[in-house]
Protein backbone atom coordinates (compact mmCIF):
# COMPACT_ATOMS: atom_id res chain seq x y z
CA UNK A 1 0.00 0.00 0.00
CA UNK A 2 0.85 3.63 -0.22
CA UNK A 3 2.43 5.46 2.67
CA UNK A 4 0.77 8.59 4.00
CA UNK A 5 3.61 10.70 2.57
CA UNK A 6 2.97 9.25 -0.90
CA UNK A 7 -0.76 9.97 -0.58
CA UNK A 8 -0.01 13.48 0.62
CA UNK A 9 2.36 14.14 -2.29
CA UNK A 10 -0.25 12.89 -4.77
CA UNK A 11 -3.05 14.93 -3.29
CA UNK A 12 -1.09 18.18 -3.12
CA UNK A 13 -0.01 17.68 -6.75
CA UNK A 14 -3.63 17.12 -7.75
CA UNK A 15 -4.71 20.23 -5.84
CA UNK A 16 -2.03 22.55 -7.19
CA UNK A 17 -2.39 21.37 -10.79
CA UNK A 18 0.49 20.95 -13.18
CA UNK A 19 0.76 24.49 -14.54
CA UNK A 20 -1.33 23.68 -17.60
CA UNK A 21 -4.45 22.42 -15.85
CA UNK A 22 -6.29 23.76 -12.83
CA UNK A 23 -6.02 21.64 -9.71
CA UNK A 24 -8.88 19.48 -8.51
CA UNK A 25 -11.74 21.12 -6.62
CA UNK A 26 -12.16 18.33 -4.07
CA UNK A 27 -9.75 15.81 -2.58
CA UNK A 28 -10.08 13.36 0.31
CA UNK A 29 -7.51 11.50 2.37
CA UNK A 30 -8.27 8.38 4.38
CA UNK A 31 -6.35 7.14 7.39
CA UNK A 32 -6.63 3.52 8.40
CA UNK A 33 -5.73 4.57 11.92
CA UNK A 34 -6.92 4.62 14.65
CA UNK A 35 -9.71 2.34 13.33
CA UNK A 36 -7.33 -0.45 12.29
CA UNK A 37 -5.57 -0.56 15.67
CA UNK A 38 -8.84 -0.28 17.57
CA UNK A 39 -10.25 -3.31 15.79
CA UNK A 40 -6.97 -5.25 15.99
CA UNK A 41 -6.03 -4.55 19.63
CA UNK A 42 -9.20 -3.17 21.24
CA UNK A 43 -9.75 0.42 22.30
CA UNK A 44 -8.55 -0.25 25.86
CA UNK A 45 -5.04 -1.19 24.66
CA UNK A 46 -3.60 2.21 25.51
CA UNK A 47 -0.10 1.39 24.24
CA UNK A 48 -1.25 0.58 20.71
CA UNK A 49 -3.99 3.23 20.62
CA UNK A 50 -1.65 5.99 21.80
CA UNK A 51 0.81 4.95 19.09
CA UNK A 52 -1.95 5.05 16.45
CA UNK A 53 -3.26 8.43 17.65
CA UNK A 54 0.27 9.88 17.66
CA UNK A 55 0.73 8.66 14.08
CA UNK A 56 -2.51 10.34 12.97
CA UNK A 57 -1.62 13.54 14.86
CA UNK A 58 1.81 13.61 13.19
CA UNK A 59 0.22 13.00 9.78
CA UNK A 60 -2.28 15.84 10.24
CA UNK A 61 0.64 18.09 11.23
CA UNK A 62 2.47 17.03 8.06
CA UNK A 63 -0.68 17.73 6.03
CA UNK A 64 -0.96 21.26 7.44
CA UNK A 65 2.77 21.85 6.80
CA UNK A 66 2.44 20.65 3.21
CA UNK A 67 -0.63 22.83 2.63
CA UNK A 68 1.39 25.80 3.92
CA UNK A 69 4.44 24.91 1.81
CA UNK A 70 2.42 24.63 -1.40
CA UNK A 71 0.43 27.82 -0.77
CA UNK A 72 -2.82 25.90 -0.40
CA UNK A 73 -3.34 26.75 3.28
CA UNK A 74 -5.93 29.51 3.49
CA UNK A 75 -7.24 28.60 0.02
CA UNK A 76 -8.80 25.26 0.91
CA UNK A 77 -11.28 24.06 3.50
CA UNK A 78 -9.85 21.28 5.64
CA UNK A 79 -12.38 18.99 7.33
CA UNK A 80 -11.26 16.23 9.68
CA UNK A 81 -13.95 13.64 10.34
CA UNK A 82 -14.29 10.14 11.74
CA UNK A 83 -16.69 7.32 11.05
CA UNK A 84 -17.45 6.01 14.56
CA UNK A 85 -16.28 5.64 18.10
CA UNK A 86 -15.26 2.41 19.76
CA UNK A 87 -15.90 0.69 23.07
CA UNK A 88 -14.44 -2.46 24.54
CA UNK A 89 -16.75 -5.49 24.24
CA UNK A 90 -17.25 -8.10 26.91
CA UNK A 91 -19.58 -11.03 27.56
CA UNK A 92 -21.29 -9.23 30.46
CA UNK A 93 -22.33 -6.40 28.09
CA UNK A 94 -23.76 -8.74 25.46
CA UNK A 95 -27.36 -8.20 24.31
CA UNK A 96 -28.91 -11.47 23.20
CA UNK A 97 -31.20 -10.63 20.31
CA UNK A 98 -33.42 -13.68 20.89
CA UNK A 99 -34.18 -12.38 24.39
CA UNK A 100 -35.60 -9.20 22.84
CA UNK A 101 -37.17 -10.32 19.56
CA UNK A 102 -38.62 -13.60 18.38
CA UNK A 103 -36.63 -14.88 15.34
CA UNK A 104 -39.86 -15.19 13.30
CA UNK A 105 -40.31 -11.42 13.48
CA UNK A 106 -37.22 -10.40 11.51
CA UNK A 107 -34.82 -11.35 8.75
CA UNK A 108 -31.15 -11.09 9.65
CA UNK A 109 -29.34 -9.23 6.87
CA UNK A 110 -25.87 -8.86 8.38
CA UNK A 111 -24.36 -10.01 11.65
CA UNK A 112 -21.44 -7.88 12.77
CA UNK A 113 -21.05 -6.25 16.18
CA UNK A 114 -24.19 -4.36 15.09
CA UNK A 115 -26.91 -6.59 13.62
CA UNK A 116 -28.82 -5.45 10.53
CA UNK A 117 -32.43 -6.61 10.58
CA UNK A 118 -35.50 -6.26 8.37
CA UNK A 119 -38.87 -6.64 10.11
CA UNK A 120 -40.93 -9.45 8.59
CA UNK A 121 -44.16 -7.51 9.11
CA UNK A 122 -45.38 -4.11 10.26
CA UNK A 123 -45.90 -3.82 14.03
Residue 123 has pLDDT above 70, yes or no: no
- Written as one string, the DSSP assignment of the chain is ---HHHHHHHHHHHHH--SSSPPPS-------TTHHHHHHH-TT-HHHHHHHHHHHHHHHHHHHHHHHHTT-TTTS------S-------GGG---HHHHS-GGGEEEEEESSSEEEEESS--
Confidence of residue 18 (pLDDT cuts 50, 70, 90): confident
Q: What digits encode the pLDDT tens for the residues 50-109? A: 999 999 999 999 999 999 999 999 999 999 998 888 888 888 888 888 898 898 999 989
Give pTM, 2 decimals: 0.71
Amino acid sequence: GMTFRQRLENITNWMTGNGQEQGVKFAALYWEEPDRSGHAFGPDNTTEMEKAMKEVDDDIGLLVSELNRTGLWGRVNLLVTSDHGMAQCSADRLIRLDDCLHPDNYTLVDLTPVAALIPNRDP
